[in-house]
Amino acid sequence: MKKNNTVVQSVTKPNQRSAKKSVDESPGKKARKEAKEAPGTLTIGIDLGDKTSRYCVLNGSGEVSKEGGVPTSKKGMLELFGAQPRCRIAMEVGTHSPWVSRLLSQLGHEVIVANARQVKLISESSRKDDRLDARMLARLARVDPALLRPVRHRSEQAQLHLLEIRARAALIEVRTSLVNSARGLAKALGERLPKCDADQMGVEQMKSLPAGAQETLRPLLEEVASLTKQIYVYNERIEQIARTDYPETKLLQQVSGVGILIALTFVLTVEDASRFEHSRDVGCYVGLRPKRSDSGESQPQLRITKEGDSYLRKMLVQGAHYILGKRGPDTDLKRWGLKLAAHGGKNGKKRAIVAVARKLAVLLHRLWVTGEVYEPLRHSNAPEARKKQVAA
């Protein structure tokens, strides 16, 4: 009996395996399996690194189908994603995200550049590493891309033109540091370099110093003069770019305190004026909107968000300083800012500067969209015009 049972069992087991195999490979289940891996249903998260990037691939059912690393280079990205069917790819904003996003978009993929600082699941995770970040990016992109607060990168041409402005800013920063160092070293000897603008500083400015100090400071001041020449070269190139490629900057320069540099930086950073439904949204875009943390009746006053492009925000603040300064002509914006500063308490002037910078961004966008002629005292003169109409 035992032998018979053994025989029966040995006979039935292969039949069971074959039956199970036939069920697994049934047409309906095979179709569902293929649907999970169908082109267009994949979602990929990439955590960009300086040399190597981690990626995670989710199939149509949200399961991890592949993970790995890829060199952060054009060749590496092309080899991995070049033959890949169209899929949704999410990555964090960073140094490499502009060119990577453009490259993957050219390959036909749907690319989402996430502002990870706005996603606490990524930025404040207690288990943060490159692999898990790639997984989280993929899962959030699969559920709802809006959760990643997508960032829109500018075009390659705009990026190249903006590099001219950023390179000039880097030279100015270095020159300022050298000038400050020279002045500080002279003071340590009980001497002073004469007051002058940074672009006027050079070897000739140290004639009053002792011979030993002149010999020591000469290399610094020669470097300052050399940097000034390079900055002048950038100035000419920036003027040429604005004149030939971005004629709309003329509209923006109608506003006092807005020169070629501010106008071109604004146009290149925003790039597409139609991206904002309302001009007032530009103030939020450049990070000049106060933070909000309202709860019930509690509405505390908080600092500005400082989101968006920091250099454009810096340029707008410089323009606001000129508008509210003594050299700034009388305008509606200046009157409004001075009134706000007078009633703003201890930090009234600082708040007025930020508020004027925000209003300036809105004004520049409005001029760009409408192409109107700027009237500095339009609102102030409106009541007088109405009075004349009534009198007539």
List the helix and strand counts (H, then E) for the chain: 15, 5
Give the position of tokens 């705009």. 158
Q: Which positions ≥6 away from 390 have C-beta within 8 Å? A: none
Q: What is d(CA 71, CA 60) in angstroms, rounded to the nearest whole number?
A: 26
Which pTM was predicted?
A: 0.77
Residue 110 in tokens: 């749907």
Enumerate the β-bridge partners of residue 71: 52
Q: What is the pLDDT of residue 382?
A: 72
SS (H, E, C) 297-341: CECCCCCECCCCCHHHHHHHHHHHHHHHCCCCCCCHHHHHHHHHH
Q: Is the predicted pLDDT of residue 376 greater than 70, yes or no?
A: yes
Enumerate the β-bridge partners of residue 362: none
- What does the pLDDT look like over 211-242, one tens digit per residue? 999 999 999 999 999 999 999 999 999 999 99
Return the biggest CA–CA distance within the chain.
124
Q: Which residue has the higher pLDDT, 11 or 69?
A: 69
- pLDDT bracket for residue 293 (50, 70, 90): low
Q: What is the pLDDT of residue 387?
A: 53
- What does the pLDDT look like over 298-355, one tens digit per residue? 667 778 888 888 999 999 999 999 999 999 999 999 999 999 998 877 788 999 999 9
Q: What is d(CA 304, CA 284) in angstroms, rounded to the nearest whole number?
A: 9
Q: Which three-class secondary structure state does DSSP give residue 46? A: strand
* Nearest Cα to Cα of residue 220 among 201, 233, 194: 201
Q: What is d(CA 341, CA 257) in angstroms, rounded to the nearest whole number?
A: 19
- What does the pLDDT look like over 15-70, one tens digit per residue? 444 444 444 444 444 434 443 444 448 999 999 999 999 999 999 888 999 999 99
